[in-house]
Structure 1
Amino acid sequence: MTTPHQSKDPLHGVTLEKILTELEAAYGWAELGRRVRIRCFNFEPSIGSSLKFLRRTPWARQEVEALYREHLSRRS
């Protein structure tokens, strides 16, 4: 049962850094680059460069968040 203050959104309260860290640990940069075709995943990848790009690029962030939701559903 949810209380009025709980969100059903699995991304609520989860930072973009935490999302990237978990996805990189689960899939690795090569697989992330295959699933989400962005340069910062494929060429000299790092959490820092990816965060910078994703914060400025809404479509890419949406793809990463969708992948994270998929990842969470597979873990459950």
Structure 2
Amino acid sequence: MTHSPTSSNDPLHGITLERLLTELVDHYGWPGLAQRININCFKSDPSIKSSLKFLRRTPWARQKVEELYLDTQHNNPWKQP
């Protein structure tokens, strides 16, 4: 695959935080997500909406979620390239 000069090398380019979080919840469930990333919005009455609000305000937590997403995608042999 060739990249044009305007394409991004960011593996998360074009993926919204909502999509990323939804895919992680679908893959791990809220309990599994809370086990991997220890933040209250995943443990106490979790929802996509409340988690997105927290993650958008909390850079370190967002970074952990993005890293888990990338690890999950990298280790998934069924994921399309």
Task: Give the gaps of 5 or more residues in structure 1.
Answer: none
TM-score (norm 2): 0.88
Matches within 5 A, 1:65-76: 65-76=66-77
Higher helix share: 1
TM-score (norm 1): 0.93
Task: Give the gaps of 5 or more residues in structure 2.
Answer: none
Report the number of matched residues: 76
Q: Percent identity?
A: 57
Letter of the 1:27 partner, please give it: Y
RMSD: 1.0
What's the CA shift for 1:45? 0.5
Displacement over 2 Å in runs of 4+ = none
Q: Distance in 2 between matches of 1:75 and 1:8?
A: 20
